Amino acid sequence: MTVAQPAAQAIDERPARHGMLRYALGKAGGALLSIAMVIVATFFLFRLLPGDPVRALAQGRNMTPEQLDLERHRLGLDKSLPEQFLQFVGQTLRFDLGTSYEYKRPVLDLIGERIGSTLLLTGTALVMAVSLGIWQGARAGWKPGSRFDKFSTAISLVLWSVPTFWLGLLLLMVFAAGVGPIPGIFPTRGIESVDAPDGFGYVLDIAKHMVLPCLTMVAVVYAQYLLVMRSSVLDEVGQDYVTTARAKGLRDDDVRRKHAVPNALLPTVTLVFMRIGFVVGGAVTVEAIFSWPGLGQLFYEAIRVPDFTLMQGTFLLITVSVILMNTLADVVYHLLDPRVRSA
């Protein structure tokens, strides 16, 4: 008995571990393949877009033909398509995303300058949305048909279908400008005040600037966590182990918190990971409403110009991070759920 137990364990675990490694490697390979395809697709996608970027840049400005040619040469647009493609792939593999047409600076530098503020905003919003969504979803699913459930479902459906731009502007007009008895307390734009104080005051200043954009993002994305969590808790409610726990005389809240919720968390966790990929892309709309100096704003600017290298670079970054996070989501799901592992 004392000998057999470790042996049995070894037999149980070894193939599982190998399986896990093989699974992760397979997923990583798949991700690399996807990234390669995305690189190729990005190049051709942005070449398929109509229009001559140099001329678009010259719009509204007096440019001589020589100047246009010069600009074309400088951007490497006078080379043949295959040449441009090889150059693009070579550069991308060296993490060089080219030079922005409009800013005349490396795209990677421009991204680097803005990625921090995007991560701050979307990261905070994601944490809040996930927490709120899971909490509210679990309570709603636990007592389906209750007033709380009806209220939660209704509100999440409304927020899910509200256009982000509209909601953001509404919040801006009410809470930044002030309406009636509500004073305008939040800033209208940006990540910091022009004359922001130093030290802790600076942190508070940023926090104040984050409130409205964060609220907009949370309102728009938290509904999906709520709905997924609600339905998976709903699945657990009728399960035998829940009945057993209740029969043991445990408090209802404890049965929910300690038994049902952990089991119901799986699909939500996957959703969270998949969503992290989009965090890098930020919220183009939210950043544009609140002049938040992040990646979304950069992408929005790039589209407005249009600045093809900048669009290409940010697009590539966003797609690659989505692929990486999806892969991670698969692997984490695999780790968390033994049923998937053994299958």
Partner 1 sequence: MRKWFAGLAAVVLLAVGTAPAEAAEPGGAKVIRVGATQAMDSMNPFLAVRLVSSSIHRWMYGFLTVPDAKTLQPSPDLAESWTTSPDGLTWTFKIRSAKWSDGQPVTAQDAAWTFTKMMTDDGAKTANGPAVENFASVTANGQDLTIKLKTPQASMLDNPVPIMPKHVWEKVGDIAKYEADSYPAVTSGPYIATEHKKDQYVKLKANPEYWRGAPKIDELQVIFYDNPAAAVVGLKKGDIDLIGRLAPPDFEALKGDDNIVQWNTEGRRATYLQVNHGATTSDNKPIGDGHPALKDPRVRQALHLAIDKQKLVDEVQSGLAKPADGSIVPPMYKDFFWQAEGGAKVSFDAARANKILDDAGYQKGADGIRTMPDGSRKLQFRFSIHTDTPIEDKLAEYLTGWFKDLGITLTTKRLDSSKFTEETGTTALFDLAISGWSVNPDPEEVLATHLCSRRPTASGEGGGTESFYCDPQFEKLYQEQQKELDRTKRAAIIKQMQERLYTDAPVIALYYPNNLEGYRKDRIAGITPIPEDRGMLYGGSSYWPFYTVEAVTADAETDSGSNTGLIIGIAAGVLVLAAAGFFVARRRGGVADERE
Comparing CB distances to partner 1, the nearer of 277 and 294 is 294
201-204: Cβ within 8 A, 24+ apart: none
CB of 212 to partner 1, least distance (A): 10
Q: How distant, in Å, are the alpha carbons of 37, 59, 85, 298, 311 from that of 72?
A: 27, 15, 16, 23, 18
Looking at residue 64, the DSSP 8-state letter turns out to be -
Comparing CB distances to partner 1, the nearer of 172 and 227 is 172
Asked if 149 touches partner 1 (CB under 8 A), the answer is no
Asked if 313 touches partner 1 (CB under 8 A), the answer is no
Half-sphere exposure of residue 266: CA atoms within 13 angstroms, side-chain side? 16
User: Dihedral of CA 177/179/181/182: which sign?
Assistant: negative
Comparing CB distances to partner 1, the nearer of 50 and 238 is 50
Asked if 236 touches partner 1 (CB under 8 A), the answer is no
Tell me the site size for partner 1, rule CB under 8 A.
75
Q: Cα(341)–Cα(170) distance, rounded to whole angstroms? A: 47
The secondary element (H helix, E strand) that includes residue 290 is: none
CB of 245 to partner 1, least distance (A): 13
Asked if 75 touches partner 1 (CB under 8 A), the answer is no
Asked if 195 touches partner 1 (CB under 8 A), the answer is yes
* CB 237 within 8 Å of CB 142: yes
Comparing CB distances to partner 1, the nearer of 143 and 189 is 189
Asked if 324 touches partner 1 (CB under 8 A), the answer is no
Comparing CB distances to partner 1, the nearer of 91 and 342 is 91
* CB 216 within 8 Å of CB 164: yes
Asked if 162 touches partner 1 (CB under 8 A), the answer is no
Q: How distant, in Å, are the alpha carbons of 15, 130, 277 from that of 4?
A: 18, 44, 45
CB of 90 to partner 1, least distance (A): 21
337-340: Cβ within 8 A, 24+ apart: 337/266
Stretch that binds partner 1, among 40-48, 86-94, 146-154, 202-210 (CB under 8 A): 202-210
Stretch that binds partner 1, among 3-11, 132-140, 309-317, 329-337 (CB under 8 A): 132-140
Q: Between residue 79 and residue 98, which ones bind partner 1 under the rule CB under 8 A? A: none
CB of 187 to partner 1, least distance (A): 6
Asked if 265 touches partner 1 (CB under 8 A), the answer is no
Q: Cα(103)–Cα(288) distance, rounded to whole angstroms? A: 18
Asked if 121 touches partner 1 (CB under 8 A), the answer is no
